[in-house]
Structures are given as structure tokens and as C-alpha cells.
């Protein structure tokens, strides 16, 4: 088996937050609070909860703690209330009620006492954030004695609050959450306990082509689902009006030659993309022109369950069908339950994957749940994430 291109000594070549003297210092922590908010209510606080231990660690050292994050995709320089971090500030006030918790829309004239916790407004309101502007990066760096990068979900972005600030800060280090992500993902990908199985679902093979290419060289078995599986099925079959990408059929053929790609042997199809559409199980060769694949069939479920039972490492990203529709959620639910019952080391990542895990209440039965979306995928592909590269560069400048 080929191995993914992850530096073995990544954790040894970056400074850890736990190695830095935080006592009475001003500590700027980049977190990932990009959470769903509707009508000023936080719909999922998973990412916030994941960062709480890092904040507590700094406050225990009598540090002045500044938090910054992005939220959504506002236009730089334009304030929009729906992208404000104010609801997260209100959330944190309840958790850190013993501390003086402050909210600031400005980067200037910030006065803090020890044990204060300050939440900055959405960094993407700041002009130059996404372009990693030098002046903005230096302004962030001037706020602190120590910069802590703890936003794995944004580690794949070379922006002022994730990359530039670390270059200009006096000290830059990785927070516990980022360290944890690197450790567990490397554990799964570098020297996995075999057999290793990867499950990759989702709508488009185009967004996960590099991921599939990498995993087909690492994992013993790669199970594909959703629109991705449909593109593989389209190599040989007429799959009606099923979601797939004709331009990627030839590339799918190349990956399929690895001989460890498992595609559905039967599917649940419907005649309309609707919750009301009835599901009928069919073999790929029997799908009519007016039908579309929206889930895997019972034989495919049995095949996957056997593979999961015999796996020692499992990596899961993406649903196997339109899990939001009850009639077409059966395959994804069966997969999730099989993983949750397995004794293997399991890692799950990606927004839709987390939605399934939360829906079935199986979080405690997954060995590790990554907070990253795009960063999770790029790390698995073997890319060097810019924020990690920055921390390594900073470490060697000491």
C-alpha cells in the first residue's frame, strides 16, 4: 500500500500551546466558530464546544484572552447582522460567567485585565482578511504576546487571521484542538491498523477526485456513495436522470482500476426528487430513463456491513444518498449504525456526515469526529495546510 504524503514529524516541528508560558500574557486565539445561526439562535454549537478547553487553558494562566473567528461569507468591509459573532459572544458569556466577557467591533484601543475574555467581531468584515493583507496581519499580531492557531476548519486557508498573523506575532503556536486533529488524522492515514476502509459519499466526484485518488492508494477498500457512486455506475450503465458528472467518467475509470473501489450493486430509485417519492430497489441495469438513484439498495447495504465488520480503521466522509428524505435515508443510516457498532478506530468529518451522526445520536460511538470540512478533505488528500506550514516555519525561526 502507498502511504499518504504527511510529514511524520509535523507534531514535533510546531510549537504547542501547552509548551508556552501564558501567565499574564495577552493570548490571541483563532478558533473556528463558523456555526449555523438563524434568527440570532445558534443551531449547532459543536464547534464552539470543541474550542472551550483551549479558552479555559489560557484563562487558567491569568491570561488576557482574545478570540477571533470568521462566520459565513460576508463582503469585506460591509457589516451584516446575520454574519455577526454577537450571538456567540452571548453564548460564551453564559459559559464564562465568572469572567469579564467583552465584545468588540474594533481592533484598536483594546484595554483588558487578566482573565478577561474578548470576542472580536467576524474577521471577514475586515478588508484584506481573505487576501492575507500584510497590514491587517500585523494589526492582528500587535494585539497579542502569543498567537494560538486552533481553527483546524480554517487551516487550509491562507488568510490574515489564520496565516499572516502567525508570521508577525512574537510567538505562534498550535492549540490543543489543532494538535488533536493532526494527531488523529495522521494516525488513521499514516500507519492505519488494517484492514482500512474509507467511505466517501456526496454529490460530486469533481470535488473529491483527488481525495479518492489518494485514498485508493492508502485504504484496503474505498466505498463510494451518492452522486459520486453514480458517476462510477455510469461507466457501464444507463442510470436514467441520476445525479452524476459525465465529464468525470473517464477519470472514474482510471480510479476504478485500483480494484478496491466498491460501488453499489443495487439502488433505491425514485421518479422525482421529493420527500414524497416512493423508493424502489433496482439493479443498475434495470434503471429506467425517468428514474433517479437516491440511495443504495439492500444488497449493497449487506456488502458494506460485512466490510465494516472486518475493518480495523474506518474513515467516513459523506452520506450514501439523499438522507434528508426518509425513503432514501436507509443506506446512510445503516452505514452509520454499522460504524457505531464496530470496534474499529473510526474517524468522521464533513458537515453532512456530522448531521447524520447528530441525527442518530452516535457521537460517543465514533472514535474521533473532525471539526474540519475543506481542511479535513485537503489533509486527507495529503496537502500541506497553510496554517500548519506557517507554524512549522515559525518553529524553525526560533
Catalytic center residues:
47, 204, 351, 374
Residue 199's H or E segment, with its range, is strand 196-200
Name every residue whose Cβ is closer than 8 Å to that of residue 270 and which is 6 or more positions away in sequence.
277, 278, 279, 280, 291, 292, 294, 327, 328
Residue 315's H or E segment, with its range, is strand 313-317
Distance CA 398, CA 392 (A): 10
Name every residue whose Cβ is closer than 8 Å to that of residue 151 and which is 6 or more positions away in sequence.
30, 31, 32, 69, 162, 178, 387
- What counts of helices (H) and strands (E) characterise the chain? 13, 17
Q: In what order do the strands lie in the sheet with 64-68?
A: 101-104, 117-120, 64-68, 26-30, 146-149, 171-174
Q: Is 28 exposed, middle or buried (0-12, 13-18, 19+ CB in 10 A)?
A: buried
C-alpha cell at 267: 439502488
Among all chains, which residue has been given the C-alpha cell 464547534? Answer: 47
Amino acid at each position: 500500500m502507498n502511504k499518504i504524503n504527511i510529514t511524520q514529524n509535523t507534531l514535533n516541528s510546531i510549537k504547542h500551546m501547552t509548551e508556552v508560558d501564558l501567565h499574564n500574557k495577552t493570548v490571541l486565539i483563532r478558533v473556528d466558530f463558523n456555526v449555523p445561526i438563524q434568527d440570532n439562535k445558534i443551531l449547532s454549537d459543536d464547534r464552539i464546544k470543541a474550542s472551550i478547553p483551549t479558552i479555559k487553558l489560557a484563562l487558567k494562566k491569568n491570561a488576557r484572552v482574545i478570540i477571533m473567528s470568521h462566520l459565513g461569507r460576508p463582503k469585506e468591509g460591509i457589516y451584516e447582522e446575520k454574519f455577526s459573532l454577537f450571538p456567540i459572544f452571548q453564548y460564551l458569556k453564559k459559559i464564562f460567567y465568572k469572567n469579564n466577557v467583552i465584545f468588540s467591533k474594533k481592533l484598536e484601543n483594546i484595554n483588558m485585565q487578566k482573565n478577561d475574555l474578548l470576542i472580536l467581531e467576524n474577521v471577514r468584515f475586515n478588508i484584506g482578511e481573505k487576501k492575507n493583507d500584510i497590514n491587517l496581519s500585523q494589526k492582528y499580531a500587535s494585539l497579542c504576546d502569543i498567537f494560538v492557531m486552533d481553527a483546524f476548519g480554517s487551516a487550509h486557508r491562507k488568510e490574515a487571521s489564520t496565516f499572516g498573523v502567525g508570521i508577525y506575532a512574537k510567538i505562534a503556536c498550535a492549540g490543543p484542538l489543532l494538535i488533536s486533529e493532526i494527531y488523529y488524522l495522521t494516525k488513521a492515514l499514516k500507519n492505519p491498523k488494517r484492514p482500512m476502509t474509507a467511505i466517501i459519499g456526496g454529490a460530486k466526484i469533481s470535488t473529491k477526485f483527488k481525495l479518492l485518488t489518494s485514498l485508493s492508494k492508502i485504504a484496503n477498500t474505498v466505498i463510494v456513495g451518492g452522486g459520486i457512486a453514480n458517476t462510477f455506475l455510469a461507466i457501464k450503465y444507463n442510470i436514467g436522470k441520476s445525479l452524476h458528472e459525465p465529464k468525470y467518467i473517464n477519470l472514474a475509470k482510471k480510479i476504478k482500476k485500483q480494484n478496491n473501489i466498491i460501488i453499489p450493486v443495487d439502488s433505491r430509485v425514485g421518479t422525482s426528487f421529493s420527500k414524497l417519492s416512493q423508493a424502489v430497489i433496482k439493479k443498475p441495469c434495470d434503471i429506467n430513463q425517468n428514474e433517479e438513484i437516491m440511495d443504495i439498495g439492500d444488497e449493497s447495504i449487506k456488502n458494506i456491513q460485512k466490510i465494516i465488520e472486518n475493518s480495523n480503521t474506518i474513515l467516513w466522509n459523506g452520506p450514501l444518498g439523499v438522507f434528508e428524505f426518509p425513503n432514501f435515508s436507509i443506506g446512510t443510516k445503516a452505514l452509520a449504525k454499522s460504524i457505531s457498532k464496530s470496534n474499529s478506530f473510526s474517524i468522521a468529518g464533513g458537515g453532512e456526515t456530522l448531521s447524520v451522526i447528530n441525527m442518530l445520536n452516535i457521537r460517543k460511538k465514533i472514535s474521533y469526529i473532525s471539526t474540519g470540512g475543506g481542511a479535513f478533505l485537503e489533509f486527507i488528500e495529503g496537502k500541506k495546510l497553510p496554517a500548519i506550514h506557517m507554524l512549522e516555519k515559525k518553529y524553525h525561526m526560533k
